[in-house]
């Protein structure tokens, strides 16, 4: 299988970045092909341009989006890795979705609406927060985010949502034991969802 790991965190030494690297390294070690798209390192522009909005003449993505779609268009799965900021993904990831998964890639005009174009692909998300996991679950923050982000993206584009694993209480003073435990949970989660590729 081929995966695109989409990292949305500005600090290369963040725990999100560590999770993303763990995904890349573990999947490659089990025979998968992986692309890492570090949105901040790429200086990805999240601003949807007026010229990119679908119109009567169709959809006209900008050159950077044409290039990005060319890179990730043949992947089997998208893996999003990002922090909760005000209980939502960073703006750069929302902009990536707005620009990348729009008409011509995520969906196409159809009878009475639109037709999804990514039905053969999957979505897996890993998110982190400083707030405890119990709080994120008990307040409904994760469920609300999944409704407006994961599940809406799936509904429009046809992606099959595999899972959304959230790790709470991720702060700068997290213990090494806790870090190791989370990263092992990431590896186990990947193994549960993606069988080792055969030679």
- For residue range 66-109, what is the model confidence (pLDDT) as tens digits? 999 999 999 999 999 999 999 999 999 999 999 999 999 999 98
pLDDT greater than 80 at residue 129: yes
Detail the DSSP E strand segments found in 26-65.
33-38
Give residue for tokens 């070690």.
29
The full set of domain ranges for the chain reads 2-193
pLDDT at 80: 98
pLDDT in tens, 164-196: 999 998 876 778 888 999 999 999 999 999 988
- Using pLDDT thresholds of 50, 70 and 90, give the confidence band for residue 198: low
pLDDT greater than 60 at residue 199: no
Q: What dihedral angle (degrees, nearest 10) is formed by the CA atoms of 39, 45, 50, 56?
A: -40
Q: Please state the rounded mean pLDDT for residues 44-49.
A: 96
pLDDT at 72: 98
pLDDT at 197: 77
State the chain's mean pLDDT as an integer.
94
Per 3-state DSSP, the chain is made up of helix, strand and coil in percentages (nearest 5) of: 40, 25, 35
Q: Are 18 and 91 in contact (CB under 8 A)?
A: no
pLDDT at 172: 65
Query: At the fourth CATH level, which superfamily is domain 2-193?
Result: Flavodoxin domain (3.40.50.360)
pLDDT greater than 60 at residue 57: yes
In angstroms, what CA-CA distances link 57 with 109, 115, 127, 170, 194? 12, 18, 38, 47, 40
Nearest to 146 by CA among 80, 47, 75: 80
CA separation for the pair 13, 139 (Å, rounded): 29
């Amino acid at each position: 299988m081929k995966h695109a790991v989409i990292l949305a965190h500005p600090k290369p030494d963040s725990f999100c970045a560590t999770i993303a690297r763990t995904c890349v390294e573990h999947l490659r070690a089990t025979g998968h092909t992986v692309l890492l798209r570090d949105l901040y390192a790429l200086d990805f522009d999240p601003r949807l341009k007026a010229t990119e909005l679908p119109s009567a003449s169709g959809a006209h993505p900008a050159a950077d989006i044409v290039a990005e779609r060319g890179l990730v268009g043949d992947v089997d799965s998208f893996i999003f890795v990002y922090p909760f900021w005000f209980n939502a993904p960073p703006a750069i990831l929302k902009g990536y979705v707005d620009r990348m998964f729009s008409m011509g890639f995520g969906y196409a005009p159809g009878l009475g609406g639109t037709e999804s174009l990514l039905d053969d692909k999957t979505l897996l998300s890993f998110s982190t927060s400083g707030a405890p996991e119990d709080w994120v679950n008990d307040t409904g923050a994760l469920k609300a985010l999944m409704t407006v982000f994961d599940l809406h993206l799936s509904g429009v584009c046809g992606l099959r949502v595999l899972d959304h694993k959230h790790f709470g209480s991720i702060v700068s003073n997290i213990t090494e034991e806790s870090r190791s435990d989370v990263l092992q949970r990431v590896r186990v989660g990947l193994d549960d969802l993606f069988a080792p590729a055969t030679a």
